[in-house]
């Protein structure tokens, strides 16, 4: 079907149609002429949503134009204000009681190119607020219970106890990379998870269920690499029990300590699985000692930390671990309750845009039952209908009860990871015209543009500019967080743009203008962007394994580091005689008093223990023969390259310098 014909059927402008289609998961370029009939039918099926999106875009641009072109108003200046950790530019202007156009101009002065609905972090906002003479402080947030979990907890607490029923416990597996988390999940599922994952690392966070003693257990499938600290943290907040995996041959590592902190802050019970006990170098007692040093005393030592030695590779003691999990869950059974006879409420644990299915999200139902056809809202905004529900095996289901992970197809937009999804029977009119504040670039927090206030210090730091596009929000967050931690006194990462979806022409143009690395994680460029990149000679880096992405960026940064000069002192020589003095050379004789003297070695000339000159050995002789080195207590002749006067009794300190490339 021709694009023009499709546009007529949808009653929209052709150009506007091509611009919005990538946001609905259709990988098309801005110069597309025809569509496959199957694709065309899918587009027509969601025609109403496409028209709403185009209208919302137009209205948003109109609103922005009006706001930006309003003249500066007379404002009442404030000196102090509070804001949350992240805020949109529009809301930030309201907090400062300043016109939006003034705030945007000030952001631009500080290197921040942000539109009305893009979000900035507290650090960036503080710098800009200071320019307006406003002291900004962080709004106090509830730390013990995450905000998104608080609402669900309150919903369950309001339920009549007689209506509450036991649900499957939700388990999260955490620990250091390489300690066997994915292998453990593989052993539990009895399927080859590792072979199906790129590089053996869990790339997308999901969830699945297993049966044990006629009881369902839900596992949150968390990535095993250190890059996913933020994701593991979020997983723990919606879990009932945590399994901490520690390798018997490696014991406690930095990521293990990090995982322990996350679990303790989440206030959920923990079971320690000491893995790899099949290895000859395993040492279970050392692991217990290291745990005890962190106030995690094992039960067999009189403490309350439950420990189960296992071998995921050999499938050893896996049943014991599952039995232990069920035992711990039984002790917590009063907390592991929900009312399945209510409208569903759950938390987003995965979100992405699928090429064929459009915006897709995985939700862990925490109260009520989600049914096919239910209307879904997030933060009061209508996000679409649950047109199709799939379980963790990708089979169609008609409903999902508490603790069941379910993939939802039929959403208008890709929600944020951690958002609370609620079912509503009535859709208010305002939901129909909801703005596109949750889509793609609006999800991106603008933080990396902010300049450090000390410009002299900032100018000494080399920046590696990056543009990152991913398929899943969680991957985007984790990659960004890990890359921003890579830095030294000389160099650091600067993420100038990040977002979801395929790489576009705008990404290529920005990469060219800012000399940035353009990185795609599990995404490809649209056809026009690919052509533009080839035409301009821009290399786009593609990855499907996160640690390889991070390693490549580290390697790129390491190449820009100045080499480290390492000095090695070789020996000392006492000058006994001066044979010949020339404008640029001195020929002398002496005796090695310490170490050795080497030909072409660098020299510091010491007189009365002070360095009076630096030089280099041009020629070294012993017994009238050219040699490469002379050892301690031997005499030799030296042709020394120097313009300084050398006297008898001077000491020559000989050394070598080696240039070593730095590695981050």
Q: What are the tens digits of pLDDT across the range 495-536?
A: 888 877 788 887 888 888 788 899 999 888 888 888 888 888
Are residues 173 and 288 both part of a single domain?
yes
**Separation of alpha carbons 647 and 444, rounded Å:** 69
Are residues 546 and 501 both part of a single domain?
yes
**Separation of alpha carbons 25 and 352, rounded Å:** 9
Phi, psi for 524 (deg, rounded to 5)? -125, 165
572-611 residue pLDDT tens = 999 999 999 998 999 999 999 999 999 999 999 999 889 9
Q: What pLDDT does residue 117 have?
A: 65
Containing structural domain, residue 206: 168-335
**Residue 151 domain flag:** no
**Residue 148 domain flag:** no
Of 85-89, 388-392, 541-545, 645-649, the poorest mean pLDDT is in 85-89
**Residue 342 domain flag:** yes
Where among 510, 527, 559 does a domain terminate?
Answer: 559
**Residue 144 domain flag:** no
Q: What pLDDT does residue 61 have?
A: 67
529: which strand partners?
A: none
Mean pLDDT of 223-236: 44
**Residue 205 domain flag:** yes
Where among 335, 369, 402 does a domain terminate?
Answer: 335
Q: What pLDDT does residue 30 have?
A: 67
233-272 residue pLDDT tens = 444 467 899 999 999 998 998 778 878 887 887 788 999 9
Are residues 434 and 296 both part of a single domain?
no
Which candidate, 640, 632, 550, 537, places its Cα nearest to that of 593?
632
Are residues 430 and 449 both part of a single domain?
no
Q: What pLDDT does residue 167 have?
A: 93
Are residues 350 and 459 both part of a single domain?
no
**Residue 157 domain flag:** no
Our measurement of the distance from residue 526's CA atom to the centroid of its chain's CA atoms, rounded to an integer in Å, reads: 24
Q: Which residues, 6+ apart, have CB-to-CB distance to 509 below 8 Å?
A: 532
User: What is the percentage of the chain residues whose pLDDT exceeds 70?
Assistant: 81
Mean pLDDT of 279-289: 93
For the cut 60, the answer to whether the pLDDT of residue 342 exceeds it is yes
For the cut 90, the answer to whether the pLDDT of residue 425 exceeds it is no
Are residues 298 and 385 both part of a single domain?
no
Q: What pLDDT does residue 448 have?
A: 37
Into how many domains does the chain fold? Answer: 6
Whole-number average pLDDT of the chain: 80
Are residues 42 and 95 both part of a single domain?
no
Q: What pLDDT does residue 288 have?
A: 94
**Separation of alpha carbons 157 and 149, rounded Å:** 12
Of 361-365, 384-388, 482-486, 547-551, the poorest mean pLDDT is in 482-486
Of 33-37, 122-126, 170-174, 397-401, the poorest mean pLDDT is in 122-126
For the cut 70, the answer to whether the pLDDT of residue 149 exceeds it is no
Mean pLDDT of 552-576: 87
Q: What pLDDT does residue 324 have?
A: 94
Are residues 182 and 309 both part of a single domain?
yes
Strand order in the sheet with 86-88: 86-88, 119-121, 445-446
3-state secondary structure 94-149: HHHCCCHHHHHHHHHHCCCCCCCCCEEEHHHHHHHHHHCCCEEEECCCCCCCCHHH
- Tokens found for residue 363: 């939700």
Are residues 172 and 314 both part of a single domain?
yes
Where among 395, 419, 438 does a domain terminate?
Answer: 438
How far CA 167 is from CA of 369, 615, 663, in Å, comes to 12, 80, 50
> What is the pLDDT confidence band of residue 486, given thresholds at 50, 70 and 90?
confident
Q: What pLDDT does residue 586 have?
A: 93
- The larger pLDDT score, comparing residue 473 to residue 51, is at 51
Q: What is the CATH number of the domain that holds 551?
A: 3.40.50.10050
269-282 residue pLDDT tens = 999 999 999 999 99
Of 160-169, 262-271, 339-348, 450-459, the poorest mean pLDDT is in 450-459
**Residue 106 domain flag:** yes
Q: What pLDDT does residue 17 have?
A: 85
Of 153-162, 286-295, 623-632, the poorest mean pLDDT is in 153-162
409: which strand partners?
A: 360, 388
Q: What pLDDT does residue 230 have?
A: 45
Are residues 311 and 393 both part of a single domain?
no
Q: What is the CATH number of the domain that holds 351?
A: 2.40.30.10
447-465 residue pLDDT tens = 433 333 333 444 567 788 8
Mean pLDDT of 199-218: 70
pTM across the whole model:
0.54
Q: Is 21 exposed, middle or buried (0-12, 13-18, 19+ CB in 10 A)?
A: buried
Q: What is the CATH number of the domain that holds 226?
A: 3.40.50.300
Are residues 468 and 398 both part of a single domain?
no
Are residues 219 and 232 both part of a single domain?
yes
**Residue 156 domain flag:** no
């Amino acid at each position: 079907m021709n694009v023009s014909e499709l546009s007529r059927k949808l009653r929209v402008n052709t150009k506007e149609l091509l611009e919005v289609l990538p946001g609905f998961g259709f990988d098309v370029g801005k110069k597309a002429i025809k569509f496959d009939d199957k694709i065309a039918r899918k587009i027509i099926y969601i025609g109403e949503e496409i028209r709403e999106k185009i209208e919302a875009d137009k209205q948003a641009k109109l609103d922005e134009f009006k706001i930006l072109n309003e003249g500066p108003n007379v404002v009442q200046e404030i000196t102090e204000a509070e804001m949350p950790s992240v805020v949109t530019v529009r809301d930030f202007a309201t907090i400062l009681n300043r016109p939006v156009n003034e705030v945007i101009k000030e952001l631009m002065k500080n290197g921040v190119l942000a539109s009305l609905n893009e979000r900035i972090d507290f650090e960036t906002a503080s710098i800009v607020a200071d320019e307006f003479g406003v002291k900004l402080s962080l709004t106090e947030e509830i730390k013990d219970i995450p905000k998104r979990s608080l609402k669900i907890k309150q919903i369950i607490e309001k339920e009549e106890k007689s209506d509450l029923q036991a649900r499957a416990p939700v388990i999260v597996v955490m620990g250091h990379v390489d300690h066997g988390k994915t292998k453990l999940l593989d052993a539990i599922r009895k399927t080859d998870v590792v072979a199906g994952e790129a590089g053996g690392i869990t790339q997308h966070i999901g969830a699945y269920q297993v049966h044990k003693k006629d009881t369902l257990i839900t596992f949150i499938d968390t990535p095993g690499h250190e890059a996913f600290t933020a994701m593991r943290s979020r997983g723990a907040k919606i879990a009932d029990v945590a399994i901490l995996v520690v390798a018997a041959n490696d014991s406690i590592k930095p990521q293990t300590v990090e995982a322990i902190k996350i679990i303790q802050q989440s206030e959920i019970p923990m079971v320690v699985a000491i893995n790899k006990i099949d290895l000859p170098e395993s040492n279970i007692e050392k692991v217990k000692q290291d745990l005890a040093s962190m106030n995690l005393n094992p039960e067999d030592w009189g403490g309350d930390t439950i420990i189960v030695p296992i071998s995921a590779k050999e499938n050893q003691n896996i049943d014991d671990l599952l039995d232990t999990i069920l035992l711990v869950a039984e002790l917590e059974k009063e907390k592991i309750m929900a009312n399945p006879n209510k409208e569903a409420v759950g938390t987003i644990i995965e979100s992405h845009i699928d090429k064929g299915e459009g915006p897709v999200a995985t939700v862990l139902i925490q109260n009520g039952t989600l049914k096919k056809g239910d209307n879904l809202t997030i933060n009061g905004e209508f996000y679409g209908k649950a047109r199709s529900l799939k379980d963790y095996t990708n089979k169609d289901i008609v409903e999902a009860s508490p603790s069941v992970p379910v993939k939802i197809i039929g959403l208008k937009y890709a929600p944020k990871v951690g958002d609370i999804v609620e079912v509503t029977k009535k859709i208010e009119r305002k939901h129909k015209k909801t703005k596109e504040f949750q889509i793609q670039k609006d999800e991106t927090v603008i933080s990396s543009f902010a300049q450090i206030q000390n410009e002299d210090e900032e100018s000494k730091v080399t920046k590696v500019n990056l543009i990152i596009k991913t398929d899943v929000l969680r991957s985007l967050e984790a990659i960004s967080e890990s890359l921003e931690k890579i830095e030294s006194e000389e160099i650091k990462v600067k993420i100038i743009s990040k977002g979801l979806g395929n790489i576009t022409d705008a990404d290529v143009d920005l990469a060219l203008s800012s000399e940035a690395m353009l990185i795609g994680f599990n995404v490809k460029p649209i056809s026009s962007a690919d052509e533009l990149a080839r035409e301009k000679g821009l290399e786009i880096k593609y990855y499907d394994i996160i640690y390889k992405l991070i390693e490549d960026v580290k390697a790129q940064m390491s190449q820009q580091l100045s080499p480290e000069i390492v000095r090695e002192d070789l020996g000392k020589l006492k000058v006994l005689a001066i044979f010949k003095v020339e404008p640029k050379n001195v020929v002398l004789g002496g005796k090695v008093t310490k170490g050795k003297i080497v030909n072409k070695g660098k020299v510091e000339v010491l007189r009365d223990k002070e360095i009076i000159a630096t030089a280099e050995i041009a020629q070294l002789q012993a017994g009238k023969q050219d040699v490469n080195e002379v050892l301690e207590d031997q005499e030799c002749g030296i042709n020394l390259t120097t313009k300084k006067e050398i006297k008898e009794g001077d000491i020559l300190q000989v050394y070598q310098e080696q240039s070593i490339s730095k590695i981050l």
